[in-house]
Amino acid sequence: MKKIFGLFLFLLSVNLIAQIPSYYNGVNLTLTGMALKSELSQKIINTHTNQLTYTNVWSVLQQTDLDPTNSSNVLLLYGYNDGDSNPITDRTRSKNNNGGSTGQWNREHTYAQSLATPSMNTSSPNAGTDAHHLRSTDVQMNGNRGNRLFASGSGNAGNVGSNWYPGDEWKGDVARMMMYMYLRYPSQCKPNNVGIGSSVAIDPSMITLFLQWNVDDTVSVYETNRNVILEGQQGNRNPFIDNPYLATLIWGGQSAQDKWNMTNVPQYYTSNQILVYPVPSNTGSVNIQYGDRDMVSLISVYSIDGRQISTVKNPKLKKNIYALEELPKGLYLINMIVNQETITKKIVIH
């Protein structure tokens, strides 16, 4: 059995590593909550080795913001209609038509400069020149947004009372940029200063609005390409573009897109239906429910890197349920022998 489970751990680790960019080598991705937030924050701060000037950003956006279907154009954040003869609502525009005049595109600070504490400036490399949150935007659309707070809405971009909705196509992009800015500039760029929404219990600076947008609007090819280019330009990446589920592991809420299949563990040598709940768990406890005829001879808990946390032989079930309790935050594999077959499940403790 040990050899079988060892092979399973090896295959699982190979599968995960194949999907995760090498950028994350050395990052402890078994963590959750504020520990994972801190780990990722340190990573993107340490790897931000090239500080762009505000002048540099023009040429960088002409590379990062290209329309995947037309490399002569950039995509315009908040834009949605190229056919209404109204330049304000344009979704695309020639990459060379940049500047400060009507009908041109300029550099939108998605995290508005005046909402940061302290306020950003563009006179020297800092949060105000970080291209991870600077986006090509129609000049007038940029002015319409101004420093309005992001708020819930639907349809195309525009005002929601005195606030701003970025549009159905762009709300996920905005959420992931705000999460990046929070980790990169933790005290200066807090999410609750740039958006309207309920605070998350584990972290009062994060709001549920951005977590929901991260779920509702999944990562596009455009965002992925942008992230790769910006690693070359600045040295760092936006982890929430690489895997939106990292936000779920940190702040909880509805599960976001899991591009690394962190919670998808195949089962081996089993036809049994084993129910493990709740996953993820916010209490440190999970229940394992077996069938009426299942004979359970072993339950072992392992960390994702293969360390044995606990093991119980011939566990005593209560109404076909065994409770695992007082588990620290993290990702775990539960290895079970049921009816002489090996079954493995993954659990997440927030």
Q: Where are the domains of the chain?
A: 2-11+263-349, 31-251
Identify the pLDDT of residue 229: 98
Identify the pLDDT of residue 317: 93
152 to each of 210, 223, 244, how far by Cα in Å? 9, 22, 19
- Tell me whether strands 296-303 and 330-338 are parallel, antiparallel or unpaired: antiparallel
Identify the pLDDT of residue 6: 53
Cα–Cα distance between 331 and 321 in angstroms, integer? Answer: 21
Q: What is the DSSP letter of 190?
A: -
2-11+263-349 CATH fold: Immunoglobulin-like (2.60.40)
Cα–Cα distance between 62 and 64 in angstroms, integer? Answer: 6
Cα–Cα distance between 116 and 101 in angstroms, integer? Answer: 26
Identify the pLDDT of residue 31: 85
**Do 73 and 67 contact (CB within 8 A), yes or no?**
yes
CB-neighbour burial class of residue 172 (10 A; exposed 0-12, middle 13-18, buried 19+): buried
**Do 285 and 326 contact (CB within 8 A), yes or no?**
yes
Q: Which of 103, 109, 100, 108 is nearest to 89 (CA)?
A: 103
CA 321, chain centre distance (Å): 34
Note the pTM of the prediction, 2 decimals.
Answer: 0.79
CB-neighbour burial class of residue 343 (10 A; exposed 0-12, middle 13-18, buried 19+): buried
36 to each of 28, 245, 254, 341, how far by Cα in Å? 8, 12, 18, 34
The alpha-helical segments, DSSP class H, found in 127-266 are 139-145, 171-184, 208-216, 221-234, 239-242, 245-251
E strand or H helix at 14, and its extent? helix 2-19
Task: List per-block mean pLDDT (blocks of 10 residues) for the chain, which spans 350 residues.
Answer: 49 57 90 92 98 97 97 98 96 98 98 98 95 98 98 98 98 98 98 97 96 98 97 98 95 91 55 77 90 90 80 93 90 88 84
Identify the pLDDT of residue 57: 98
Could you give the maximum distance between any two Cα atoms of the chain, in Å? 75
Any idea of the CA torsion for 163, 169, 170, 173, to the nearest 10 degrees? 140
Q: Which of 27, 22, 75, 90 is nearest to 231 (CA)?
A: 22
Residues 6 or more apart whose CB falls under 8 angstroms from that of 114 comprise 147
Cα–Cα distance between 300 and 24 in angstroms, integer? Answer: 28
List beta partners, residue 343.
336
Identify the pLDDT of residue 14: 47
